Amino acid sequence: MLIRDYIRASSLEEASERYAAGGYILFAGGTDLMVKARGKKWYQDKTFLDISGLQELKEIREEENFLCVGAAVTLTELEENREVRERLPLLYEAVRSVGSTQIRNRATLAGNLANACPASDCIPALVTLGAQVEVYGGKGKRVIPAEQIFRECRACLRHSGMHVRTCYYSDPTEKKLILEPGEMICGIRIPFPKPGTGHWFYKLTQNRTIGMAVMNLSMTVEPDERGKARRIRLSAGGIFPRPVCLETVRGKNAGKSLREACLEQAVNAIEQEKDLLADYPYKRRVFPELIEEGLEALLPDGEEDS
């Protein structure tokens, strides 16, 4: 592996100052960086700036109605966290689908988001849940809705074989996120769903292994005060050039049932990517089927009214 140097940051301020000066690649878990550095010379003039030891980035805490996850928190720590398992089951399912145990022991939720891969397992769950991203830079902290932090990356979905393998960019944050120079993700705020909200997560791979997703789907169904399905939110990986959340609300669909309106919206959305997606015919056929399966699991009998 070729890199110029390796430095462990002693504070968030130091990390931000160095990162703003250029020539640095942020390093927390390093699972994506190691793969890229092994076969390419992208980093021979770059210094890995390790933020994994910053205690302020290693916290998992509850704040009002949010679970706040520091940028250095590993996926294993989230998987083992009781609040995640019991109150954020959609995120739990997405996290435990990432790679192997060894990968989750090092990989971080913030790194998964920062890599901005369209086939990420965690990003659709974060977008569906309405997560917020805390970033830190020379002007202090600011908060960005997760769905709004990504730039469109059309090249990422042109891989052959239905598969999104890895990113074309050595530092995805420069090309695929809207961050200002020197800004870095320092945490993610995830709102706890309304009581009674159903969740569904599915990951489709080529060979039922720990590999990257061909497609994945995160979905929630939120009830109204009577317990009747009111709103569907879903986000998918491996389909769109930037993560999007498709939302369907009962009573706002020109007489269509909640199920019909949700499927129609999803089909319209994927048809907009007809000239972009590798293996579009396959994904166009399977995407609605995955949604149907999720709706079958989440919508009780009789939830077909408009």
CATH number at residue 129: 3.30.465.10
Note whether 226 and 168 are same-domain residues: no
Note whether 160 and 206 are same-domain residues: no
Note whether 128 and 183 are same-domain residues: yes
Q: Residue 257 belongs to a domain with what CATH number?
A: 3.30.390.50
The count of residues in the chain is 306
pLDDT digits (tens, 9 = 90+) for 153-178: 877 776 544 445 556 677 788 789 99
Calpha distance 96→185 (Å, rounded): 22
Distance from the Cα of residue 57 to its chain's centroid: 19
Residue ending a domain, choose from 140, 156, 191: 191
| DSSP-derived 3-state class of residue 39 | helix
Does residue 187 have a pLDDT over 80?
yes
Note whether 184 and 208 are same-domain residues: no
Calpha distance 177→83 (Å, rounded): 29
Residues of the chain with pLDDT > 70, as a percent, come to 92
State the pLDDT at residue 168: 61
State how beta strands 24-27 and 47-50 pair: parallel
Q: Which amino acid is at 17?
A: E
State the pLDDT at residue 39: 67
Token pair listed for 235: 């986000």
Residue ending a domain, choose from 164, 191, 218: 191
Q: How many domains does the chain have?
A: 2
- pTM summary value: 0.93
Residue 36: inside a domain: no
Note whether 154 and 259 are same-domain residues: no
Range of the domain at 148: 54-191
Residue 258: inside a domain: yes
